[in-house]
Amino acid sequence: MPTLYDITVDDIHGKPVKLSRYKGKVLLIVNTASKCGFTPQYKGLEALYQKLHGKGLEILGFPCNQFGAQEPGSETAIETFCSMTYGVTFPMFAKVDVNGERVAALQAPQVVEEGHARLRRDQVELHEVPRRSPGQRRRALRAPDRAEGARGRHREAALMRSRILARAAAALLAAGVAATALAQADPAKVIRAVFPTAETGFDPQAAGDLYSNAVNRVIFDTLYKYDHLARPYKLVPNTAAALPEVGDGGKLWTIRVRPGIFFADDAAFKGQKRELTAHDYVYAWKRVLDPRMRSNSMQMFDGRFEGMDELVAAAREGGRLDYDRPVAGLQAIDRYTIRLRLKFPTPS
CA atoms of 49 and 82, how far apart (whole Å) = 14
Q: At residue 294, what is the residue type?
A: R
Answer yes or no: are the C-beta atoms of 311 and 325 closer than 8 Å.
yes
Q: At residue 341, what is the residue type?
A: R
Terminal-residue alpha carbon distance, the chain:
27
Answer yes or no: are the C-beta atoms of 87 and 79 closer than 8 Å.
no
Is 36 tagged catalytic?
yes
Q: Which of 102, 68, 99, 78 shows the shortest CA–CA distance to 309?
A: 68
Q: At residue 209, what is the residue type?
A: D
The SS3 call for residue 60 is strand
CA atoms of 94 and 184, how far apart (whole Å) = 62
CA atoms of 115 and 93, how far apart (whole Å) = 25
Q: Which of 75, 103, 107 shows the shortest CA–CA distance to 91?
A: 75
Q: Select which of 4, 9, 17, 36 is catalytic.
A: 36
Q: Residue 291, class by beta-carbon neighbours within 10 Å (0-12 exposed, 13-18 middle, 19+ buried)?
A: buried
DSSP state of 53: G
CA atoms of 315 and 294, how far apart (whole Å) = 13
The sign of the torsion formed by the CA atoms of 113, 119, 124, 126 equals: negative
Q: At residue 154, what is the residue type?
A: H
User: Vertex 309, ends 305 and 311: CA angle to 5°?
Assistant: 105
Q: Which of 101, 171, 120, 91 shows the shortest CA–CA distance to 4?
A: 120
Residue 92 pairs with which residues in a beta bridge? 61
Please identify every residue annotated as catalytic.
36
